[in-house]
Amino acid sequence: MLLALPSCGARTELLIPESCPESGETRTCGDICGSGQQVCLDGLWSDCLVPEITRGCSTLCGSGSESCRFGAWTACEVPVAVRACSDECGPGEDRCVDGAWQGCEVPDVLRPCESVCGPGNETCRDGKWGRCDAPQPKPPQLMATVRDFSPTTHPDFEARYVPGVELGIVEPRLGDDDKPVYAGAERRTTSGKQNFDKWYRDDPVNQPSPLSLQLEVADQDELLFVYDNHEFFPIDGELLGNEGLRHNYHFTLEASTIFQYVGGETFSFSGDDDMWVFIDRQLAIDLGGIHSSASAEVALDDIAPGFGLVRGETYSLHFFFAERHTTQSNFTIRTSIAEPGSCQ
């Protein structure tokens, strides 16, 4: 018999024991677990006593068992299962607990690394290699040469404006004098070898001047060095002058450095117009032509096999830039390449 009594505004059901005629008498009863028995004790029927039963069950973790007791089935109990797994850090194990795989757990892995300033270590954790803790070099200062041109005396500046990146203006290797070698005859934005050879050589048609480019540590990455200038007019009012324009737009720039290849270095350029980057005197970035801002990146680990780069060895980096058309001049370098001996 159930008796409903009010309690704090809620309805509560209380089980009222049922009287029985004679102590020791039994009767059959049952619940969700199956059949059982009640006994008459002191004039009242006891709780229904149903034997505990067990049955097989399974989860994502495998096979196990569940029991029914006191009118309810317990959760499926499956022994903890373990399976092999791996991530970028190496082998590990995945444990299945409470019916769900918990995810691959791989112990932290430590391996040696180095910068041009010395050795260090890097740790692989959660499937990702962290930073190398080797001492880091100072941001490089690139010593460049800028050469000023006038579009009235050199036909490759302004006059041959055809927008868009033009590949293949230069050969894939530097010449014996470490200058770009013009490829073929007259092209879309260039007027032939004779005129191109004046871009990066002192000649009566241009005026040269030294220029320093100081890179800085990137805000979001302490291992990356950046020179970022979206108004790159380093010779405004100098050399041949602005020639009636707001800026001195017509110039070339070349710079070179040496670096020790330790692994993981990158070099990227974004800007307009021409840019060629040579690593170990081999063409790694080709962004020739008169174009709006364009970008390219080279990862040294990717090109190392084809370029014959060996970790620990020292190589040259040359880059050649040209600003040949109004009205913009963007120049951005991002690199982790550093000069030997530039340590803190």
Tens digit of each residue's pLDDT (9 = 90 or more) over 203-260: 999 999 999 999 999 988 888 999 999 999 999 999 999 999 999 999 999 999 999 9
The reply to whether 217 and 273 lie within a common domain is yes
Give the best-scoring range by mean pLDDT among 16-25, 184-193, 236-245: 236-245
The reply to whether 307 and 192 lie within a common domain is yes
CB atoms within 10 A of CB 188: 12
The total number of structural domains in the chain stands at 3
Q: Look up residue 33 and give its DSSP letter.
A: T
Average pLDDT over residues 263-282: 95
pLDDT at site 1:
37
Q: Is residue 89 over pLDDT 50?
A: yes
Q: How confident is the model at residue 15 (pLDDT cuts 50, 70, 90)?
A: low
Q: Is residue 27 over pLDDT 80?
A: yes
Average pLDDT over residues 314-323: 96
Report the DSSP beta bridge partners of residue 252. Answer: 147, 322
At which of 84, 107, 130 does a domain end? 107
Average pLDDT over residues 188-210: 96
pLDDT at site 225:
95
The reply to whether 208 and 181 lie within a common domain is yes
pLDDT at site 341:
67
* Domain span at 226: 141-335
The reply to whether 22 and 167 lie within a common domain is no
The answer to whether the CB of 88 falls within 8 A of the CB of 107 is no
Report the DSSP beta bridge partners of residue 67. Answer: 54
The answer to whether the CB of 247 falls within 8 A of the CB of 143 is no
Q: Is residue 11 over pLDDT 80?
A: no
Q: Look up residue 343 and give its DSSP letter.
A: B
The answer to whether the CB of 337 falls within 8 A of the CB of 246 is no
The reply to whether 44 and 57 lie within a common domain is no
Which of 275, 265, 237 minimizes the C-alpha distance to 340?
Answer: 265
The reply to whether 21 and 71 lie within a common domain is no
Share of the chain above pLDDT 70, in %: 95
In the chain, how long is the greatest CA-to-CA distance?
A: 129
User: What gap in Å lies between CA 92 and CA 99, rounded to an integer?
Assistant: 20
Q: Is residue 301 over pLDDT 50?
A: yes
Average pLDDT over residues 131-148: 92
CA torsion 294-299-305-308 (nearest 10°) is 80
Q: Against a cut of 0.85, is the pTM above it? A: no
User: What gap in Å lies between CA 328 and CA 272, rounded to an integer?
Assistant: 8
pLDDT at site 14:
52
At which of 63, 85, 107 does a domain end? 107
The reply to whether 45 and 57 lie within a common domain is no
Position of tokens 């029927």? 45
Average pLDDT over residues 298-312: 96
